[in-house]
Amino acid sequence: MRELDLIEAIRRGSAGKRSLRGVAVALGIGDDCAVLRVPPGHEVLVTTDFSLEGRHFRRDWHSPESVGHRCLARGLSDLAAMGAEPLAAFLSLALPANMLTTVAGQKWVRRFFEGLRGLGDRYGVSLAGGDTAEAPGGMVLADIVLVGSAPAGKALRRSGAKTGDLLYCTGALGGAAAELNSLMAGKKIRSAASPQLFPEPRLAVGTALLRRGLASACMDMSDGLSTDLAHLCRASGVNAEVQLESLPLHPAAARLSGAERRKTVLHGGEDYELLFAAPAAVKMPRMIAGVAITPIGRFVRRKAGASLMTLVGTDGMRTPLEAAGWEHFSSEGK
Ligand SMILES: [Mg+2]
């Protein structure tokens, strides 16, 4: 497979896809630039994410479909966090030389694109361009750019949470990290509903929060609740209290023992759920677009000496919640 063949293969799978609002890609792969149509009255949002072998995925843990899916899901989740709708994706992909010349390698690449396209098709987003190169060091390196749009001035931000607002999250927490622990222990994950292998970006929730004016601040959780909530608090200039018993546990996390479960749900990354704030007066639906919405705490005034985040236990015990920095696993394990 030469580089031209690879681009042709990508193009064949991308042609003619329609975005949710019609044709967003006026001119896609094959010219020097892609041309995108932005809906009238909308702004363009852009996000970029690396997917590096050994850092964000491992070929012995993640199937090619999973790697392709996760690559796109990371970018889509950032668009969801701001209430944006995707317009198009761009992928720069560096592959080890043997992936382009061996049958097994070409099969891996084909399955990678199947995984990426499978998710893209569901949200009406296709690859509108990219670049390929031979990777040094035998690693698969992917960099994806997502372009989306939102009504001008309305994109959800991290900075809007106010004292007295309630804190919410979508879906369930800790699943991706609990499954990562299983992978590290040498177990296999087979479920197609796996949050580690096939995380679901919450695009429909993000756009509904924006459209219905429900959220005052929003972000997606890629690094874990404690780390991401700290970002939201700092951006908004408020502190937060989290009710431990309110946190919705993913079944894979619920199976863990006490201390491990707590660590996973508070600090485990890669769930790609949304974390958002809303005024207490907002009547928040319990489900949006089929996804559970759970109140998990509230925002309080920033006070000198008080910790940015406080964990409130079942017994009402209050302890400072530290942002335990989630590091994506390295090839050495962690
Ligand atoms: Mg993000």
Q: 142-169 pLDDT, tens per residue? A: 999 999 999 999 999 999 999 999 999 9
Distances (CA, A) of 125 to 13, 118, 301: 12, 10, 40
pLDDT of residue 19: 45
* Banded model confidence at residue 77, pLDDT cuts 50, 70, 90: very high
* Rg (alpha carbons) of the chain, rounded to whole number: 20
Mean pLDDT for 121-145 is 92
From the CB of residue 167, how many other CB atoms can be counted at a distance below 10 Å? 25
> 75 CA distance to ligand 1 centroid (A)?
8
* Side-chain-side CA neighbours of residue 304 (13 Å): 0
Q: For 41-73, write each residue's pLDDT tens digit.
A: 999 999 999 999 999 999 999 999 999 999 999
From the CB of residue 297, how many other CB atoms can be counted at a distance below 10 Å? 25
> 125 CA distance to ligand 1 centroid (A)?
18
> 272 CA distance to ligand 1 centroid (A)?
8
Task: Measure the CA angle with vertex 274, ends 279 and 73; round to 5°.
Answer: 155
> 82 CA distance to ligand 1 centroid (A)?
9
> 108 CA distance to ligand 1 centroid (A)?
28
**Choice between 2 and 304, residue whose per-residue pLDDT is larger:** 304
pLDDT of residue 334: 31
> 288 CA distance to ligand 1 centroid (A)?
20
Mean pLDDT for 123-127 is 91
Q: For 270-293, write each residue's pLDDT tens digit.
A: 999 999 999 999 999 999 999 999
Percent of the chain with pLDDT over 90: 78
pLDDT of residue 220: 98
pLDDT at 305 over 60: yes
Smallest CA-to-CA distance from 59 within 164, 156, 170, 141 is with 141
Outline where the chain has alpha helix (H). Answer: 3-14, 64-81, 97-101, 103-122, 175-184, 203-211, 225-236, 251-254, 258-267
pLDDT at 330 over 60: no
Q: Which DSSP state fits 248? A: P
- The answer to whether residues 298 and 241 touch, using CB atoms and an 8 Å cutoff, is yes
- The answer to whether residues 162 and 299 touch, using CB atoms and an 8 Å cutoff, is yes
> 222 CA distance to ligand 1 centroid (A)?
6
Q: Where is average pLDDT lowest: 16-20, 175-179, 303-307? A: 16-20
In sequence order, the β-bridge partners of residue 9 are: none
- Which residues fall inside 5 Å of ion ligand 1, going by CB? 78, 220
> 120 CA distance to ligand 1 centroid (A)?
18
pLDDT of residue 314: 87
Percent of the chain with pLDDT over 70: 90
> 126 CA distance to ligand 1 centroid (A)?
20
**Choice between 124 and 23, residue whose per-residue pLDDT is larger:** 124
* Banded model confidence at residue 331, pLDDT cuts 50, 70, 90: very low
> 187 CA distance to ligand 1 centroid (A)?
29
> 31 CA distance to ligand 1 centroid (A)?
30
> 102 CA distance to ligand 1 centroid (A)?
36
Smallest CA-to-CA distance from 99 within 57, 48, 50, 137 is with 137
pLDDT at 117 over 80: yes
pLDDT of residue 6: 64
pLDDT at 332 over 60: no
Distances (CA, A) of 236 to 9, 163, 217, 260, 325: 45, 9, 8, 30, 20
Smallest CA-to-CA distance from 233 within 290, 176, 275 is with 275
Distances (CA, A) of 250 to 77, 120, 188: 18, 25, 18
Q: Mean pLDDT, the chain, as a whole number?
A: 90
Task: Measure the CA angle with vertex 45, ends 39 and 49; round to 5°.
Answer: 140
Task: Measure the CA angle with vertex 186, ends 180 and 188; round to 5°.
Answer: 70
Mean pLDDT for 129-154 is 94
Tokens found for residue 13 = 């799978």
> 96 CA distance to ligand 1 centroid (A)?
28
b/e burial code for range 88-122 (CB count within 10 A of at least 16 → b) = bbbbbbbbbeebbeeeebbebbebbbebbbebbee
> 207 CA distance to ligand 1 centroid (A)?
15
pTM summary value: 0.92
pLDDT at 257 over 60: yes
pLDDT at 3 over 70: no
* Banded model confidence at residue 20, pLDDT cuts 50, 70, 90: very low
Which residue has tokens 């939201």? 232
